[in-house]
Amino acid sequence: MAGVQTAAIQLPLFADADEPDTMSGFSVRESGRAKRLSIKVFPRGRVEVVVPKRTRAADVREFVEAHKDWIRDARASFAAEHPPEPFALPVSVRLPGIDRNFCVRYERDDGSKSVRYRVRGNTVVLSGCTRDEMLCVAALKRWLVALGKREMLPMLRALSSETGNPFKKMHVRGQKTCWGSHSSTGTISLNYCLMFLEPRHLRYVMIHELCHARHMNHSLRFWRLVGQFEPSYRRLDKDLNHCWKRIPTWVGIY
């Protein structure tokens, strides 16, 4: 993903059962595909450490410590280009990908320890412990998942029929590192952040993932297939490298 800087050093795999922890300022993600430790610094300053399974927490700390200067420089470089945006809970949510706009209303109940959401027309009502910003964000993300399933599944089914590329199930998630994926079992996972993008970007990602039904790789044959259904795929694919800018800060993806 463009806009992400990556440092990687080949390290041996570890057999220890200790799981890596999450350190202050960093998130740690285990990956079954990773063969080495790597660090990603995202444009808004988030730092993610990607590690092979069963990597020791001590090794993660040592790796981060060895690359602290690189992390500092990467953060500074992004900060110069993209001034930090303050966090604020939304009072409205615009979703161009599905051509919907919503107002968000907060109903505080100091006796509650949770936040629930309900939808009334084009208004999302959060009720409960709304003084807790993180509980509000979690409720909004649950709403985005439910909305994404309802809005994107018919679109994916229509494109599946149009392209002749099948899928078995669709999941909607808030992936931090990808817009979508297609598993070997036929499950397509779409990022609810796609709804914040333009319809053409959402459509392209769906076509891209559907074409993986025939080619579970990014070979020349795969791209030729994509090009049959979306001739502008090169430009759209490049656009996605910068579309993170359209995701509101409160979503917390980048």
The model's pLDDT over 148-177, given as tens digits with 9 standing for 90+, comes to 999 999 999 999 999 999 999 999 999 877
**Same domain, yes or no: 60 and 119:** no
Nearest-angstrom CA–CA distance, 171 and 186: 11
Assess whether 200 and 125 both reside in one domain: yes
Nearest to 253 by CA among 82, 50, 61, 46: 46
Domain match, 33 and 59 both:
yes
Q: How far is CA 225 from CA 100, 190, 210, in A?
A: 31, 20, 10
For the stretch 204-226, what's the b/e string if a residue is b when 16 or more beta carbons lie within 10 angstroms of its beta carbon?
bbbbbbbbbbebeeeeeebbebb
* Stronger pLDDT, 11 or 189, i.e. the higher one: 189
**In this structure, is residue 131 part of a structural domain?**
yes
- Looking at the structure, tell me whether residues 131 and 208 fall in a common domain: yes
How confident is the model over 174-222, as pLDDT tens digits? 987 789 999 989 999 999 999 999 999 999 999 999 999 999 988 999 9
Same domain, 134 and 197: yes
What's the chain's average pLDDT?
85
Q: Judge contact between 37 and 26, C-beta under 8 A.
A: no
Identity of the amino acid at 98: I
**8 Å CB contact between 46 and 20:** no
The type of residue at 131 is R
- Whether 180 maps to a domain, the answer reads yes
Is residue 106 included in any domain, yes or no? yes
**Looking at the predicted structure, is the pLDDT value of residue 60 above 90?**
no
Residues 26 and 135 in one domain: no
The pLDDT tens digits of the residues spanning 111-132 come to 999 999 999 999 999 999 999 9
Q: Which of 81, 111, 136 is the last residue of a domain?
A: 81
Which of the four pLDDT bands, split at 50, 70 and 90, describes residue 35? Answer: confident
CATH of residue 159: 3.30.2010.10
pLDDT of residue 19: 34
The full length of the chain comes to: 254
Question: Any residues with CB less than 8 A from the CB of 138 and at least 6 apart, and which?
Answer: 115
Is 60 exceeded by the pLDDT of residue 81? yes
Instruction: Count how many domains the chain has.
Output: 2
Same domain, 52 and 126: no
pLDDT of amino acid 199: 98
The yes-or-no verdict on residue 46 having pLDDT over 50 is: yes
